Amino acid sequence: MESLDDYLASGAVGDLVPWSVQMSAMEMFSCSCAEVEERILSLNLLPARYQRNRQTISTAGQLRLFRSRVAVIGCGGLGGYVVEQLARLGVGNLVAVDPDVFEEHNLNRQLFSSIAELGKSKVAAAVARIGSINPAVSVTAHRIAFTASNGAELLQGALVVVDALDNIPARLELSEICNRLGIPLVHGAIGGWYGHLATQFPGEELVKSIYRNWSAGKGVEQQLGNPSFTPAVVASMQVAEVCKLLIGEERHLRGRILSLDLHAMEFHETGV
């Protein structure tokens, strides 16, 4: 009988393996979708879904993404877009953490929210959505709040962590735990037309520095809320940072904070 590798190689069009071949390989060789995707990439072939990535990410880079684990803490405005984009990018293992269910006031911006999902778990919606996009991507859902006591366990094995939280005390805890575990953290925050993001490398105290004047309560988001576009913009920029960290591109948002004002359409850079 033909081997899985031979089957995939013979089914490739050029170096692209169509989804139909990936699916039939799963059935013929009793493999999971993830196992087949890993074999394709290991053979230096490319699942056809990634063909528009290839001028940005090499096949070797695509394999690296597929073998990576990224933890997304918070699965609301920022986190929904982050999970979706990481999955479409081809990051193979995602951890989604959020204790909440969808409420009506989420419908203006949260990607996985819908009328049918009202009252249902945000992380369960993330699992269902990603399963419908690419079943090769594994999403581990934790319907709990990130805390100092469960943090280390939730982040286990993550190469990069995304801060998509909605409150400052939890952000400070996350940043401290990432430092303790030696994991880079891509921080993003939004409110109204405004937002900022920065990448914190282990040993740096960037998030603590951003919030050094904070004593209690929330930021401008409490007064301004969040429209549809601000989380989409900041989340996309966070994903670009994650992508570079995973594939070893070195031009990070390091030692600087990028602040966005989408009302004035201005970007400002602050050195730290």
Partner 1 sequence: MKVTVKLFATFQKGRFTVEAREYPQGIIVDDIITELEIPRDSLGIVMVNHRHVELGRELVDGDTLAIFPLVGGG
**Chain residues that interact with partner 1, rule: CB under 8 A:** 74, 76-79, 163-168, 171, 188-196, 209-224, 226, 231, 257, 259, 261, 263, 268-272
| Structure-token match 């996350």, residue found | 174
- Least Cβ distance, residue 119 to partner 1 (angstroms): 21
- Cβ proximity to partner 1: between 149 and 215 the closer is 215
Spatial separation of the C-alpha atoms in residues 80 and 86, rounded to whole Å: 10
- Least Cβ distance, residue 180 to partner 1 (angstroms): 22
Residue 49 contacts residue 19 (beta carbons within 8 Å):
yes
- Least Cβ distance, residue 242 to partner 1 (angstroms): 16
- Cβ proximity to partner 1: between 136 and 234 the closer is 234
| Structure-token match 């989420």, residue found | 106
- Cβ proximity to partner 1: between 131 and 192 the closer is 192
- Cβ proximity to partner 1: between 43 and 172 the closer is 172
Residue 88 contacts residue 65 (beta carbons within 8 Å):
no
Spatial separation of the C-alpha atoms in residues 234 and 38, rounded to whole Å: 30
- Least Cβ distance, residue 110 to partner 1 (angstroms): 10
- Cβ proximity to partner 1: between 138 and 226 the closer is 226
**Range 173-177, long-range pairs (CB < 8 A, 24+ positions):** 173/146, 173/147, 173/148, 174/73, 174/146, 174/207, 175/200, 175/205, 175/206, 175/207, 175/208, 176/148, 176/208, 177/148, 177/151, 177/152
- Least Cβ distance, residue 157 to partner 1 (angstroms): 23
- Cβ proximity to partner 1: between 11 and 191 the closer is 191
- Least Cβ distance, residue 255 to partner 1 (angstroms): 10
Spatial separation of the C-alpha atoms in residues 92 and 79, rounded to whole Å: 17
Spatial separation of the C-alpha atoms in residues 185 and 257, rounded to whole Å: 13
Residue 64 contacts residue 218 (beta carbons within 8 Å):
no
- Least Cβ distance, residue 188 to partner 1 (angstroms): 7
Regarding beta strands 185-191 and 194-200, do their DSSP bridges make them parallel or antiparallel, or are they unpaired? antiparallel
Strands (E), the chain: 16-17, 46-47, 69-73, 93-97, 138-142, 160-163, 185-191, 194-200, 256-261, 266-271
Query: Quick one: CA dihedral 19, 92, 90, 167, positive or negative?
Result: positive
- Least Cβ distance, residue 165 to partner 1 (angstroms): 5
- Cβ proximity to partner 1: between 128 and 262 the closer is 262
- Cβ proximity to partner 1: between 62 and 226 the closer is 226
